[in-house]
Amino acid sequence: MSRQGFRVELAPTEEQRIRLGQHAGLSRLVENFALETVKAALDQRAAEKTYGIPEGELTLVPWSAPALESAWRAAHPDRFPWFVEAGLSSRVPKEACRVRAAGFRAFFDSRSGKRKGRTIGFPCWRRRKHGGRFRYDADRATPVDPRTVRLPGVGKVATREDMSWLVDRLAASDARVLGATVKERAARWWISFQIEVDRADLDQRRAAPPDAPACGIDLGLTTFATIVDTDGTLTEIRAPKPLKAGLRKLRKANKALARSQRGSANRAKRRAEVARVHLRVANRRTDFLHKTTTRLARTKSAIAVETLNITGMTSNRRLARAIADAGWGEFARQLDYKTNWYGSRLWKADRWFPSSKTCSAPGCGQQHGGLTLAERIWTCGGCGVVHDRDRNAAANLLSAMLADAA
């Protein structure tokens, strides 16, 4: 059994849209209530220390989800009586407390070094402009049929996409729902099911052929991916660069938003248009990355990629937007789990592996130490072979993977 996500777009009625918005507002309120509770406890502890109260007798801070949920249950009858009167789902506050507790845990793990990656700051207030979302735990939200889902507190909501793949597996007990997240973006609603599913039969039918070639992949901006196979085949994949393509519309939409009067109906329309442009950009990038990674995982026996310091690279203000538009990090993430699905193998080179400046000619291997980012073609000083930077890097990655596997 493996875990994965399954997302479909909802087609709610106007009344259901209102209910979805109410649950998103409830989740936001509970997250802010949890943060308020923690900050109040921290302030109380600070005051008690000035009174000389011993450490063991100080007010406890409710960092955990159960403690936050207990505080919510005690407070909502008096502070938020409308919660029960409106008939909203009790599962939403429970999950909101878990989300907030996970944020506190990530903050402390980041400070102590247990969490890798960029430093996580202390959780901040959640605002309406951050977008509407809420969660259900376990299988509280579940598909009823291929075109309908049941959401507690909302009812049966139609979907714009067919869910036969999930419904059939749930009926056969080959899958189970672990949780569900409902999210709004650009006035459209989606539900993402987190499921545990038996993919053995599906992955076997779509597995990479036994005689499939291995390949090395060099990622770039002009050419998104330069692929060199073991049989010598060279493939270049061009990225759609969705943000670059949508910049004109985005600038126009943002200018219209800036000119509109705050609080007016027109400003709401302009804000919605900006959100729609961003959504189209994100959808184009997501579609390209999923199709590309699926094709590679199902047609290659092994794939060698470089480990890129994307965070460091985006500090270059001249390249940051283009790098973010390419989606290299998401490309590597998708390859990681899809190669596991389809029986291929993903090999990641060390971050400092000199793939671009090492001569890939047989028997050479000399490094061109002064290679700059602007040099796309260079000549090896040892053997005299002229190299295309990207093709040379892909070939070196492939050779390093094969040597490592030998």
- 85 has catalytic annotation: no
- Rounded CA-CA distance 332/250 in Å is 28
Our CA angle for 155, 95, 73, nearest 5°, is 95
Closest by alpha carbon to 104, among 118, 120, 93?
Answer: 120
Cα dist from 120 to 32, 61, 293, 329, whole Å = 18, 20, 29, 19
Q: Which of 31, 69, 273, 306 is catalytic?
A: 306
SS3 content of the chain, % helix, strand, coil (to 5): 50, 20, 35
229 given a catalytic annotation: no
Query: What is the rounded distance in angstroms from the CA atom of residue 72 to the CA atom of residue 225?
Result: 50
- Say how many C-beta atoms besides its own lie within 10 A of residue 125's C-beta: 10
Q: How many residues does the chain have?
A: 406
Q: By three-state DSSP, how is residue 195 classified?
A: strand
Q: Which of 376, 223, 198 is nearest to 292 (CA)?
A: 223
How far is the first Cα of the chain from the last one, in angstroms, to the nearest whole number?
Answer: 31
Name the burial class of residue 278, with classes exposed (0-12), middle (13-18) and buried (19+) by CB atoms within 10 angstroms of its CB: middle
- 388 is an active site residue: no
Catalytic one among 184, 218, 273, 325? 218
Instruction: List strand residue ranges (DSSP E) for 246-357, in order.
Output: 302-305, 345-348
d(CA 384, CA 124): 58
Q: CA–CA separation, 341 vs 294, rounded Å?
A: 10
Residues labelled as active-site residues: 218, 306, 390
